[in-house]
A = this chain, B = another copy of it.
Amino acid sequence: MNKDFNYSGLKLGIIGGGQLGKIMSQKAKKMGFNVTILDPTPNCPAAQVSDRQIIGGFYDKEKLTQIVNESDVTTFELEHIDTSVLKELYDAGHNIHPSPYVMELIQNKYEQKKLLDEKGIPVPAYKDVKNNDDLASFGFPVIQKAKLGGYDGKGVQMLKTPQDIQNCIKAESFIEELVDIDKELAIIVARNIEGEIKCYPVVEMLFDERVNICDSVMAPARVSKHIEQKAIDVSIDSIKALDGVGIFGVELFLTKKGEVLVNEIAPRPHNSGHYTVEACATSQFEQIIRAVTNLPLGSTKLISPAVMVNLLGEEGYEGEPFIEGIHEALDIPELSFHFYGKSVTKPFRKMGHITVLDDDINKALEKANKAKNILKIKGSKKV
């Protein structure tokens, strides 16, 4: 897309139609672009707010070819896709960002870690697993991760004792030292086609330990200037190492010794960056649109401290979602309510989120926790 391109009605393809694709599409539509979603589920969240949906899976070569052919630029809301056909299309000159080569590298968590390690970026100690002896080589407890296909706590497990080896992940995997974590941090990094890089603030991720899913995010993180700078530096270095274009969610471990290690990188808008919609000058969702369409990146300035809380489907419910407590929750000042429009709820499924602003981050946390206790996503069926 050169500088004479007419951006009015630019055709954008988004592969994946969940909540990330939905908000990306809303920001693309804000700028007047024409958006097509590729997703196997008819009327998926992103399709509801876009011009058009192509119904097809992420490994359907024909439909992947169609969306790329019919778009000026194609991007992603998820990394679990067939890259082989996309590499051919990319090599033939189609605009696909991040490139399918970067996607392929990131898909394999072991290769991703190896690349970062080779580039001198601090990561937890890790080892390829070829047999059960490899699993035991760091002692116990140890973290085992599937190389491919993991997300939201899936594909990751802790082996506490040698006996746990019998229940280990059977797919291709690697092990990682159990890091003595002080906090889990994250940074959203944007990089556009011209190589311009912008970092969002360092945030703190809090997890629901029952299922290892991100529960809340505090922006900014409660860390020293020194740690903040370290986190920014390793995140920028990581994205330079990957040579990617788009938005990258860099998950970090702050160890009790004060080291900052890269845990993993998502090549797309990330749950830890949802707060940017309300709290930053340019949201991560608009930023990816700017990055992949060869527009200048927007300011990543934090306009207000914020706390984001995921609304997960309540345990014990399935079927058509029912929102409990919406009146009481929306009465909390400076609270923004997002509900994704998924047709069915399941236990721990990401159904929506809230972002709460306050000049005082501790007050924002207090208000967010109050809302979290009030809002429940139940369903039409008990399970």
Which A residues are within 8 Å of any B CB, using their own CB? Answer: 3, 6-9, 22, 26, 29-32, 34, 48-51, 278, 281-282, 286, 290, 295-296, 298-299, 301, 303-304, 320-323, 326-327, 330-331, 333-341, 352, 357
Complex contact B326–A7 (CB within 8 A): yes
A335–B295 Cα gap in the complex (Å)? Answer: 13
User: Closest CB of chain B to A73's CB: distance in Å?
Assistant: 15
Q: List 15 A-B contacts (CB under 8 A).
A: A3-B327, A6-B323, A7-B326, A7-B339, A8-B320, A26-B29, A31-B338, A32-B338, A32-B339, A34-B48, A281-B334, A281-B336, A281-B357, A290-B330, A295-B330
Residues of B within 8 A of A335 (CB): 298
A335–B357 Cα gap in the complex (Å)? Answer: 21
| Given the contacts A48-B51, A281-B357, A303-B304, A323 and B8 also touching, CB distance less than 8 Å | yes
A77–B103 Cα gap in the complex (Å)? Answer: 43
User: Closest CB of chain B to A60's CB: distance in Å?
Assistant: 25
| Given the contacts A281-B334, A296-B330, A336-B282, A341 and B9 also touching, CB distance less than 8 Å | yes
Complex contact A7–B323 (CB within 8 A): yes
Which residue from chain B places its CB closest to the CB of A47 in the assembled complex?
B51
A127–B320 Cα gap in the complex (Å)? Answer: 58
Complex contact B49–A357 (CB within 8 A): no
Among A31, A282, A286, A338, the most chain B Cβ lie within 10 Å of the Cβ of A31
| Given the contacts A29-B26, A30-B26, A339 and B8 also touching, CB distance less than 8 Å | yes
With beta carbons under 8 angstroms apart, the residue of B290, B323, B334 that contacts A299 is: B334
A100–B332 Cα gap in the complex (Å)? Answer: 31
| Given the contacts A339-B32, A352-B32, A357 and B303 also touching, CB distance less than 8 Å | yes
User: Closest CB of chain B to A199's CB: distance in Å?
Assistant: 15
User: Closest CB of chain B to A50's CB: distance in Å?
Assistant: 8
Residues of B within 8 A of A352 (CB): 32
User: Closest CB of chain B to A318's CB: distance in Å?
Assistant: 14
User: Closest CB of chain B to A65's CB: distance in Å?
Assistant: 25
| Given the contacts A296-B331, A336-B282, A340-B32, A321 and B49 also touching, CB distance less than 8 Å | no
Residues of B within 8 A of A327 (CB): 3, 295-296
Give the 10 A-B residue pairs with the shortest CB-CB distance, closest first.
A32-B339, A296-B331, A299-B333, A281-B334, A8-B321, A32-B341, A299-B334, A296-B330, A29-B49, A8-B323
Complex contact A295–B31 (CB within 8 A): no
Residues of B within 8 A of A303 (CB): 303-304, 357
Which residue from chain B places its CB closest to the CB of A356 in the assembled complex?
B281
User: Closest CB of chain B to A356's CB: distance in Å?
Assistant: 10
Complex contact A334–B301 (CB within 8 A): yes
Which residue from chain B places its CB closest to the CB of A338 in the assembled complex?
B30
Residues of B within 8 A of A51 (CB): 48
A337–B320 Cα gap in the complex (Å)? Answer: 36
Residues of B within 8 A of A326 (CB): 7, 295
A321–B352 Cα gap in the complex (Å)? Answer: 36
Residues of B within 8 A of A286 (CB): 336
Residues of B within 8 A of A3 (CB): 327
A30–B278 Cα gap in the complex (Å)? Answer: 12
